[in-house]
Amino acid sequence: MLIATWNINGVKARLDALLAWLDERSPDIACLQEIKSVDENFPRQAIEERGYHVETHGQKGFNGVALLSKMAPTAVDRGLPGDETDEHARYIEGVWETDSGPLRVASLYLPNGNPIDTPKFAYKLAWMERLIAHARAALEREEPLVLAGDYNVIPQRADAAFPDNWLGDALFQPESRAAFRRLMNLGLTDALRASTDADGTYTFWDYQAGAWQKNNGIRIDHLLLSPEAQERLVSVGIDKHVRAWEKPSDHVPVVVELADQP
């Protein structure tokens, strides 16, 4: 089974690229972030024509997450628990019944948090604490769980081409990285780092200053696996070539392959 995450940076603007990638990669479940579309305006028909079921949690103009899957989920939850006043569309979670039992997959878009001297950074850290609490409860189910998405966190210096350039950024603050470690320490596995420790492994290249051409990238898109999912891990890949397509997102898809049985 192939499970992918991709910050699409506007599904309408990148629809051609999304459809081309679905045709090429054929993921079983694709987790999208930053769809920037309300649910009723999501271009679901073109995706459904390719055999995908579509679940969205959107809002106008920014944020928004989606789950595309070859098989319809049996349950879908929208919104990260823990703050009923939070109106940002940043989290959607689905459950799929497989031959070996339930599979739970979430698509998340963690807040950017910049500038760090504003309430945006406090919101980021509070959101991460809510995610930790939710993940802790989810792990108690002892079932395959994949938390996939744009975490807006650079976990280690090796995850940036020029880490010192990010010292003043919310993505690389000690508080952000510490919260990410607390999440990981619940027993989750970073799928990509479980398969490679190579430098130069990035998922995002800014549109400015020739970042893509210079490979001045960062790794902020992650697939975190519960122990039950980790024992099924076969491989992980970054579809880096998608960044060179016409009108690309500044992120690229990351894809994990899980075996059907442990």
Point out the residues that are catalytic.
Answer: 109, 150, 251
Q: Are 145 and 229 in contact (CB under 8 A)?
A: yes
Binding-site residues: 7, 34, 150, 152, 250-251
The burial of 241, by beta-carbon neighbours within 10 Å (0-12 exposed, 13-18 middle, 19 or more buried), is given as exposed
Kindly report the CA angle at 121 between 157 and 93, in degrees rounded to 5?
85
Annotated binding-site residues for Mg(2+) read: 7, 34, 150, 152, 250-251
3-state secondary structure 77-126: EECCCCCCCCCCCCEEEEEEEECCEEEEEEEEECCCCCCCCCHHHHHHHH
Q: Which residues contact 156 (CB under 8 A, 6 or more apart)?
A: 177
What's the 3-state SS for 162-226?
CHHHHCCCHHHCHHHHHHHHHHHCCCCEEHHHHHCCCCCCCCEECCCCCCCCCCCEECCEEEEEC
Q: Reduced to 3 states, what is the DSSP secondary structure of residue 23? A: helix
Give the rounded distance of the alpha carbon of 163 from its chain centre.
21
